[in-house]
Chain A
Amino acid sequence: EAQVTQNPRYLITVTGKKLTVTCSQNMNHEYMSWYRQDPGLGLRQIYYSMNVEVTDKGDVPEGYKVSRKEKRNFPLILESPSPNQTSLYFCASSPQQGGNSPLHFGNGTRLTVT
């Protein structure tokens, strides 16, 4: 089944403790992206990747890191999480960055930073 898989689904951590949220897609998509979803704000892009070893900042990159060493994986790293990073995070992929292809989203990771 074609899908985007995120892990974990739920994560509670404390301020300053490094964490990684994994994202993997099995559709051979070139484009991958991370979003955070907060009430009343909609989805906001954190980082995106056009292809392997090509990553760039989105609209809200502060406090986050990413890497794209393989085409299928695009982990999101929080080196020193803070309470304002408490949010619902989504990974998404599509065949390419532009055009008419839809984004395929994972089922989200709900992160709470205390």
Chain B
Amino acid sequence: KNQVEQSPQSLIILEGKNCTLQCNYTVSPFSNLRWYKQDTGRGPVSLTIMTFSENTKSNGRYTATLDADTKQSSLHITASQLSDSASYICVVRWGNTGFQKLVFGTGTRLLVSP
């Protein structure tokens, strides 16, 4: 069964600290993996996308990694800010050309405390 699991479910860190969120998936065939940020009361917004051949990609203070062999991805947030408080959702696209589907993780809720 195609699944995406994220950990931890929730996390509290102090402002200025770093943190890492995890995403494990079992989908096949893999197409790409995307991290979204969802602020409270808003729709998810794309942070970064990883394709099969990419190991790491950065977007400002956000750095995503992908290990396609172990089917794991991580999202590292550096020097956290209060505005980083949000849910982070891992979404994996699977399927062949012509028909692809998305599998959503349940998200990690991050609270950055002053």
For chain A, residues 23 to 58, give those with C-beta under 8 angstroms from any C-beta of chain B.
Answer: 40-45
Contacts A42-B105, A43-B89 given; does A100 touch B32 at CB 8 Å: yes
Q: Given A98-B98, A100-B49, A102-B34, A107 and B41 touching (CB < 8 A)?
A: yes
Which of chain B's residues has its CB closest to A110's CB?
B41
- Name which residue of chain B comes closest to A97, CB basis: B100
Beyond A42-B104, A42-B106, A43-B104, whether A90 also contacts B43 by CB under 8 A is yes
Q: Which single residue of chain A is at the shortest CB-CB distance from B45?
A: A105
Name A's interface SS.
Answer: loop
A107 touches B42 (CB 8 A): yes
Are A98 and B45 in contact, with the CB atoms below 8 A?
Answer: no
Q: Which residues of A contact B89 (CB under 8 A)?
A: 42-43
Partner of A4, one of B43, B98, B105: B43
B63 within 8 A of partner (CB):
no
- Taking a contact as CB atoms under 8 Å apart, the answer to whether A108 and B42 are in contact is yes
Task: State in angstroms the CA–CA spacing of A90 and B49 once bound together.
Answer: 21
- Indicate which residue in B31, B51, B107 contacts A98 across the interface (CB closer than 8 Å): B31
Known A-B contacts A40-B106, A100-B49, A100-B51; A92 and B43 likewise in contact (beta carbons under 8 Å): yes
Chain B, residue nearest A43 (CB): B104
CA distance A89 to B100 in the complex (A): 22
Interface membership of B76, Cβ < 8 A: no
Name which residue of chain A comes closest to B106, CB basis.
A42
A residues in contact (CB < 8 Å) with B: 4, 40-45, 90, 92, 97-100, 102-103, 105-108
